[in-house]
Structure 1
Amino acid sequence: METAEIRRRFLTFFERNGHTVVPSAPLVYDDPNLLFVNAGMVQFKPYFLGQESAPWDRATTVQKCIRTQDIEEVGKTSRHGTFFQMNGNFSFGDYFKEGAIRLAWELLTTSQDAGGFGLAPERLWVTVFTEDDEAADLWVANTAIPRERVVRRGLADNYWHMGVPGPGGPCSEIYYDRGPEYGPEGGPAVDEDRFLEVWNLVFMEELLTAVRTKVDFDTAGELPRKNIDTGMGLERIASILQGVDNLYEIDEVYPVLERAAEMTGKKYGEHSGHTAGESHPDDVRLRVVADHVRSSLMLIGDGVTPGNEGRGYVLRRLLRRTIRAMRLLGYEDPCLPQLLPVSMERMSRSYPELESGFARISQIAYAEEDAFRRTLASGTTILDAAVAETKASGGSRLAGDKAFQLHDTYGFPIDLTLEMAAEQGVEVDREGFVRLMDEQRARAKADAKAKRHGHANTEVWKELRADGPTDFRAYLELTSEAKVVGLVRDGERVEELEPGTRGQVVLDRTPFYAESGGQIADEGAITSDGSHLRVVDVQRPVKGLIAHTVEVVTGPLRLGQEVSAEVDPQWRLAACQAHSGTHVVHAALRQVLGPSALQSGSYNKPGYLRLDFAWNGGLSAQTRSEIEEVANLAVRDDLPVSATYMTLPEARAVGALALFGETYDEQVRVVEIGGPWSRELCGGTHVQHSSQVGPLTVTGESSVGSGVRRIEAFVGMEAMRYLAKERAIVAELTELVKVQPGELKDRVAGLLARVRDAEKELERLHQAQVVAAAGRLADTAVDVNGARFVSHDAGAATADDLRSMALDLRTRLGDGAPSVVALAGVTKERPVVVVATNGPARERGVRAGELVRIAAQTLGGGGGGKDDLAQGGGSDAAKVGD
């Protein structure tokens, strides 16, 4: 049974049993604690935590998940995978233990002809929490499983919670006996390779008040409404129903592995089977390729693009590990164009959007491979130089900061640095590298937390949200009468904010737009009798709650105070122009470049916008001009702008574009400009007609990553100011060179050509002087222990000058006797030294690299090179004479 069919049967079964089928949330989810969705219940957390009321009593989903903590372990065993899918059925105060047990047993054991999975009941075992007599009895009473196959286990195995205060409860796991060839008898407590867990039923029935560890927590009693959360690993059940050993051999994964094996001439599994023992390195690499190609496909499909931090770095790492694994398997050519389509063909059976969006997905992936291949070439050169410098200084360990620089600046993977350094007999200070990586991550995390939450911990916001959501009025008004329902300073709730302080204000209603969807927050003021606060930022720290970061000008402001919240109208107008302008530019891009030029991110503030989109290669000046013209024609045509609410399926049916990486509720807001000309899901503020955007001028276009370009523009008055500045510059230049504006380009081109000719002539004269100086210096050679030796302080001279002079001098001295040339100079206030030796000198053991190190040490630096020519430098120019 194919994985797509297993998925379909699961959803169909629960839909037939009264569950609402909920689409998978994107892998990129709006949760400050998660990099990616990593469990099936993530999108339902607000319902389980009591922050929101569930819109359904029963739900079912197949959730896309990514777990990143085991990337290094992928392929080493048959269990670890980065991307996986979690089947789940959920009850929000509806059915409980008996219902969950009955439904799970029915689906698992019903024959395949009747729509079930057809597992033999005699092969199924279950575990329950040690103290959960109720669940044990229900299994025996409601299924054909005998009591001896109901195993009791403790907190570590059969109790579930989120790791934070909130709901928790015992769980019951279902295991499938794969047979004696996989291990000993005795049930899951004896061997979890033979007895494979396929489904976990969590019975949320207790309220946890403190969670210290997995097994150490406090409870406050039963939940008022008991819930069900189940998780069935789709890949696990697929391996059982397809009769294969592990997730790498199921129909959604193995075709990529098989293709990689064909490309590299390897044969998977010929070195080891499923029995105990380490896998052969080639098998590990093939599994890495299969896992990472699929994971990358799904991440790019959900809007992630390669980058140097956060989610983008995870994707970049997956793609580069794939390419590296293929190279270690002996395949040097680009590999993703052959592997990615194989994965798309299999995965699109469950996710058809992968096929329709494959032009964009493949464009990003292939560009990243091309970039990494260039990185491998340039990084190898840089690594070789670093290794040579390490050896030249007498060391045998590459410094951690060098390895970090290779990784951080050049994108060179640390595992590649370790391997290639070892090949040259040098180890790497991995501890130093890890320390620098940790410091970088800590800084990034602190910066992100400070911006998003103003240093307040999440619990503060959850407490405030529990009192009710903020009434969001930004679409309807610029001024709202409101009440202060929360004050936060330095991460703690307070009763008042005093003059001169900075903090966060939560109101019961607000006209302020909170930063989201690429649009920055409104600015304005919160006022009341005797209090005036400047609003400098507005965020949503938790779903449904809006927090205003304020500077208290006069006050104080007290909890419970009645206030007036007022958005700066000029700020809002310019922000609306920029956001609507972003939609206009996106539509113009797609009209000029085609439908694959999809937006992958945006940022807009009053008067300015930037838009990232999937595209390979820069745009010509003519293309940029065409995009700008299409956008301004749409502005001129005064197209109506409207916003309507509809269900997500309805929005997709009418062709509304969703911003990759954004999370949407069932009801979504669709913003149209000119009807179908621009139709996008958007929560931002907009003008009422496109003419209100005002003039739009594209100011730049650049690369921001593999397969991703960025276009920038000004709108409204900012566009007018930008064009006025450009006009003033042209006027100044035409006055300076005494031509009409239309003749300026040709005049400047002519001047530049004359400057280049003059520079070439100066360089020719300079080289003639260098040669003449070398001729004079050859006559100054002195005898030093039978070798002719020339030394010279060249004064202000570049390293290139010194090398040219040294090589010319060495040629003039000839090979009749040992000769050594040593030249020094100063460039940009730093001393440089070059040493050259001829063949007879090297035969006597005189080596340029060794001599230049002596000179460079005198200059307070270091250097090295080959035996015939070497270069060094230092920091003390006063020591050139020495």
Structure 2
Amino acid sequence: MQTADIRGRWLDFFADRGHTVVPSASLVSDDPTLLFTVAGMVPFVPYLTGLVPAPYPRATSVQKCIRTNDIEEVGKTPRHGTFFQMNGNFSFGDYFKEEAIGFAWELLTTPENQGGYGFRESELWVTIYLDDDEAYRYWRAIGVPDNRIQRLGMESNYWSTGQPGPAGPCSEIFVDRGPAYGADGGPATDDDRYVEIWNLVFMQYLRGESTGKNDFQILGDLPKKNIDTGMGLERVAFLKQGVENMYEIDQVRPVLDRAAALAGRRYGADHDDDVRMRIVADHVRSSLMLMSDGVMPSNEGRGYILRRLLRRSVRAMRLLGVDTVSLPELLPASRDAMSAAYPEVKSDFGRISQAAFAEEETFLRTLASGSTVLDLAVAKTKKANKTELAGPTAFLLHDTYGFPIEITLEIAEEAGLSVNRDAFDVLMTKQRSLAKADAKSKKTTLADLGVYSPFRALGETVFTGYDNLRNESTVLGLIVDGESVTGAVAGQTAEVILAETALWAESGGQEADAGLIVGAGYELKVLDVQKPVRGLISHKVLVLSGEVGVGERATSVVDESWRRGARQAHSGTHVLHAALRQVLGPNAHQSGSYNKAGFFRLDFSWNQALSPATRTEIEEISNNAIRDNLPVTTRELPLAEAKALGAMALFGEKYGDVVRVVDIGGPWSRELCAGTHVSSSAEIGMINLISEASVGSTNRRVESLVGLEAFRDLAAERALVSQLTSSLKTPREQLPERISDLVTSLRAAEKKIAAFEARALTDRVPALLSTARRVGAVTVVAEDLGVLGSPDDLRVLALATRDRLGTDAVVVALSAIAAGKPVVIVATNTGARAAGHKAGSLAKTVAGILGGGGGGKDDVAQGGGPNGDAIPAALQAVVAAISR
């Protein structure tokens, strides 16, 4: 049974039983505590927790998921995958345990020729929570024998978010693969023989705080009992396809086979090679799916995880003996395997492959540079007659150079060295602990969102600001310091929840509106507008005067000048995006944006700098579109219809079933966008590109001023040009040539001055030579030169004096106030160093007397400090040290 068939049977089964089929959400999660969608229930959390009213009583989905906490286990077990698909069915206060158990058993045991999965009842095992007798009765009622129902503890069979809130027991379904795969005894043995394929969560209780992982208290029943179930699509696929693990199913195996062919290895012949091929197959597919949802390689957040996956796959190919680029072969194999289920991986492959291939080439260069650092470390370790490479060195290579520890181990072993893995692991554990602590602190803040639940239950906040800049509404709620209150007085900062608002909440890259909220006897200054939960708008305000209370009438008033600038910037972003794609092609796809009154920036996928000519062309196309006064229209359409019209969906944005399409000049620029816009392109006024730079190996960023701000910037440049033409008495068109001539003349003058200064320094050497004296067997020059331009001048004099004193032992110590600070340069020759007089040691002596620091090499070193009055004593200390 192919993976696509398993997926289709799931959706058909639950759709026939009254479930709304919900398309997979993006791998980029809405939850601020999560980098990715890690489970099928994540998109439904607001409904399951009651934070947002569910739009349907029951739903089903096949959700794309990414988990990286077990990345080191990928390839080693039959079921650990980074990317996986979770089949889920959900009930929001509708059905509960009996129906959920019945649905699961029916779908699993119905014969394949009747639309089910055709598992034999005798191979299915069930686990339940210790005291969940209700679930036990339902499983027994549908025919599961007592000896195949096992009761397990909270660690395995109890669900909660880890925070106070919804919780409940679980029931899991396992498939027995038979005695060839392990010992008898059921899932309680925790053996690979029993593969968990389905988890049924019975969300029925409200839990409290806890001091440990599982010692929380149950406070009572939830107002509504919910069902959240998940079946692992890949796990069912490898069981139904008769293969050994998830890496061998139809959606993954083609990449594995291509990796084997490139490496000239046979899958199944060597355990270590098999693990590497499975890592490649998993990570290439996971990277493909992440990039199809707009994630790009970077050094932080989601981009860092993607970069790690790509680099682990390259590293695995290297360990298989492939030192050249491999993604141009591997990525298309994954695309072909996944495109039937996810057509976007094929339609977006140009953009995806460009970024992936660039990342591989970058990492291969990183491996080369890291190898140089590692080779030096190996040589240093051997020179010290040690057999173990230091753990901090291995961690530096991993953390700074992106050099995998496995490659460090491999190269060290080839050189006859081991690696202090314990020290490396300590540093890695410390790094992970810091990351986990940060994630935990972020997760704790999520609990505060519960304060919005009563207001969200009243319905969605209506945004009226597309057509009106004022709107009268009602104060539904007030929040001060995270607590719901009935009123707020002058001087307080509060959050205001209105039934309707004309003020734009920050989203879609557009900054929140500025403005006021006013009512009878009070005035509130709007500091920020946000959407803390889906469908709810919250206004952060400062109470300027009076007192505002819940239930009062309130008028939201948008700052008209601010909104005009924001509309210009947002529409300007669309215009520039269209111009970029016109010049660079469809792979130049927007990957992020930010706009506010008078300014916008736009990130787009591209891997090289734009030439001045290209920048000018893009800017000119943009301003021609503004000059042509293209109509700007908006309309609401079903998502599928909008995409069929060619409307561009931007990565990182979330869209509902009905979307807002913004056209500028018809299809010239057609994007899905909920932001505020001008009514015709001429209202943008002007686009003035002010910068273009890299934001990663595969992304560029342009910044632009728009409207009046663009004009002001150009006016400032005009004033500057006017000043230059006046000062240089040169026409504007001749300024570049005139400035170039001046620069050339200046450089020539600087060279002459440098030559004169060098000659002047050289002329001082004979006088210094005349001060030389014998201190024991050493010729010593120790002189204070007063004031010099720089420490480099002092160094030149010291070296020149040393070199003119012959081959006998010579020490030169010269001091000066250079660049405003006391400095001493010490220089020694070979004879002095052979006698034990090293410049670095003498410089430290000097620095101690001057109250500062110093040091350097044995032949030349520098010391200094704030105490200039001590220079004579410092020079005398050098002479004393030599005499000793």
Instruction: Give the TM-score normalised by the residue count of structure 1.
Output: 0.85
2:125 alignment partner in structure 1? 125
Cα distance change of structure 1 residues 823 and 5 upon mapping to structure 2, 3 Å threshold = farther
1:155 paired with 2:154, answer: yes
Which residue number in structure 2 is paired with residue 184 of structure 1?
183
Task: Tell me the amino acid that sits aligned with residue 289 of structure 2.
Answer: M
Range with greater deviation from structure 2 (538-547 or 792-801): 792-801
AA at the equivalent of 2:160? H
Deviations 1:407-454 (A, max 9, x none): 99x6667969998999899997987897789779988998x999xx9x
Equivalent position of 2:459 in the other structure = 468
Bigger drift between 703-712 and 368-377 goes to 368-377
Q: Residues 506 and 152 (structure 1 numbering): CA distance in 2 closer, same or farther, change over 3 Å?
A: same
Q: What is the CA distance between 1:612 and its match in structure 2?
A: 0.6
- Alpha-carbon distance in structure 2 between the residues aligned to 1:805 and 1:265: 64
Report what 2:656 is aligned to: 665
* Aligned twin of 2:612: 621
Q: 1:37 aligns to what? A: 37
Q: CA separation of 1:139/1:830 partners in 2, compared to 1, >3 Å: closer, same or farther? A: farther
CA distance in 1, matches of 2:8, 2:48: 26
Which residue of 2 is the match for residue 276 of structure 1? none
Q: Name whichever of 609-618 and 16-25 sits farther off.
A: 16-25
Q: Which moved more, 1:745-754 or 1:94-103?
A: 94-103
Matched-pair contact (CA < 8 Å) for 2:206–2:222: no
Is 1:704 the counterpart of 2:692? The answer is: no
Per-residue deviation at 1:579?
A: 0.9
CA separation in 1, counterparts of 2:19 and 2:347? 29
- Counterpart residue type for residue 566 of structure 1: V
Give 1:561 shift.
2.1
Task: Note if contact 2:603-2:702 (Cα within 8 Å) is conserved in structure 1.
Answer: yes
Instruction: Tell me: CA distance 1:637–1:355, structure 2 relative to 1, closer, same or farther (3 Å).
Output: same
Structure 1 residues 469 and 634, CA, compared in 2 at 3 Å: closer, same or farther?
same
Change (3 A) 1:566 1:199: same
1:197: which partner in 2? 196
Q: Structure 1 residues 631, 83: closer, same or farther in 2, change over 3 A?
A: same
**Aligned CA distance change for structure 1 residues 470 and 374 (closer, same or farther; 3 Å):** same
Residue-by-residue CA offset, 1:780-832 (whole Å, 9 max, x unaligned):
66556645566666764656656666666666566x55556666677655677
- Pick the aligned partner of 1:689 from 680, 683, 690: 680
Equivalent pairs counted in the alignment come to 859
Cross-structure match for 2:585: 594
Query: Does 2:338 correspond to 1:347?
Result: yes
| Cα offset, 1:350, TM superposition | 2.5
Q: Which amino acid aligns with 1:221?
A: D
**Alpha carbon RMSD of aligned pairs, Å?**
4.3
The structural deviation recorded for 1:162 is 3.4
SS in 1 for 2:702: strand
Change beyond 3 A, Cα 1:762–1:82? farther
Q: 590, 599, 602: which one pairs with 1:608?
A: 599
**How far apart, CA to CA, are the structure 2 residues paired with 1:853 and 1:427?**
36
| 2:548 paired with 1:550 | no
In the alignment, does 2:663 pair up with 1:678? Answer: no
Q: What residue number does 1:237 align with?
A: 236
- Go from structure 1 to structure 2 and tell me whether the alpha carbon gap of 1:15 and 1:440 turns closer, same or farther (over 3 Å shift): closer
Assess, with a 3 A threshold, how the Cα gap between structure 1 residues 768 and 426 changes in structure 2: closer, same or farther. farther
| Alignment of structure 1 residues 305-704 onto 2, 5 Å | 305-323=296-314, 333-334=324-325, 336-372=327-363, 457-704=448-695
Q: Which amino acid aligns with 2:700?
A: R
* Partner amino acid, structure 2, of 1:43: P
TM-aligned CA distance change 1:58 to 1:485, over 3 Å: closer
Q: Distance in 1 between matches of 2:679 and 2:138?
A: 60
> Which residue identity lines up with residue 210 of structure 1 in the other structure?
G
Task: Give ranges in structure 2 of 5+ residues lacking alignment.
Answer: 383-387, 878-884
- Shift of the alpha carbon at 1:499? 1.3
C-alpha separation in 2, matches of 1:857 and 1:267:
67
Query: Which residue number corresponds to residue 853 of structure 2?
Result: 861
Pair 1:171-2:163 in alignment: no
2-structure distance, mates of 1:456, 1:857? 56
Q: 1:646-690, CA deviations, whole angstroms, 9 ceiling, x for partnerless residues?
A: 222222222111111111112221111122111111111111222
Task: Kindly indicate whether the alpha-carbon contact (under 8 Å) linking 2:394 and 2:419 is maintained by their aligned counterparts in 1.
Answer: no
User: What amino acid maps onto 2:189 in structure 1?
Assistant: V
Higher mean Cα deviation, 230-239 or 250-259? 250-259
Query: Once the 2 structures are TM-superposed, how far is the Cα of residue 24 of structure 1 from its aligned partner?
Result: 1.0
Equivalent pair of 2:183/2:191 in contact (CA under 8 Å): no
**Is residue 33–residue 439 contact of structure 2 (8 Å, CA) maintained in 1?**
no
Deviation at residue 525 of structure 1 after TM alignment: 0.7
Q: Alignment partner of 1:189: what SS?
A: helix
Contact 2:823 2:865 in 1 (8 A): no
Q: Which moved more, 1:185-194 or 1:424-433?
A: 424-433
Query: Equivalent residue for 2:881?
Result: none
Q: CA distance change for structure 1 residues 15 and 301 in 2, over 3 Å: closer, same or farther?
A: same
Normalised by the length of structure 2, the TM-score is 0.85
Q: Aligned pair in 2 of structure 1 residues 818, 46: CA closer, same or farther (>3 Å)?
A: same
Is the Cα contact below 8 Å between 1:155 and 1:215 reproduced in 2?
no
Question: What is aligned with 1:208?
Answer: 206
In 2: Cα distance, 1:128 partner to 1:425 partner:
44
Aligned-pair distance for 1:296?
2.8
- Aligned equivalent of 2:882: none
Q: 2:178·2:193 contact (CA, 8 Å) conserved in 1?
A: yes
What amino acid does structure 2 have at the position aligned with 1:237? Answer: V
Q: CA deviation at 1:367?
A: 3.7
Q: 1:805 to 1:430 in 2, by over 3 A?
A: farther
Note if 1:728 corresponds to 2:727: no
The 3 A distance-change label for structure 1 pair 788 and 251 is: farther
What residue number does 2:385 align with? Answer: none
- Unpaired segments ≥5 residues, structure 1: 273-279
Corresponding residue SS for 2:188 = coil
Distance 1:229 1:119 in 2: 22
Separation in structure 2 between the aligned mates of residue 433 and residue 828 of structure 1, nearest angstrom: 44
Q: Which amino acid aligns with 2:22?
A: V
Query: Matches of 2:407 and 2:855 in 1, distance apart?
Result: 22
Alignment partner, residue 21 of structure 1: 21
Compared with structure 1, are the counterparts of its residues 849 and 338 closer, same or farther at alpha carbon in structure 2 (3 Å cutoff)? farther
Q: Distance in 2 between matches of 1:458 and 1:334?
A: 47
Name the CA distance, whole Å, in 2 between partners of 1:601 and 1:200: 37
The 2-side partners of 1:76 and 1:857 are apart by: 59
The whole-number CA distance in structure 2 between the counterparts of 1:851 and 1:321 is 50
What letter is aligned with 1:38?
Answer: V
CA contact (8 A) 1:703 1:710 kept: yes
Change (3 A) 1:536 1:332: same
**Larger CA deviation: 738-747 vs 243-252:** 243-252
1:715-794 mapped onto 2 (5 Å cutoff): 715-769=706-760, 786=777
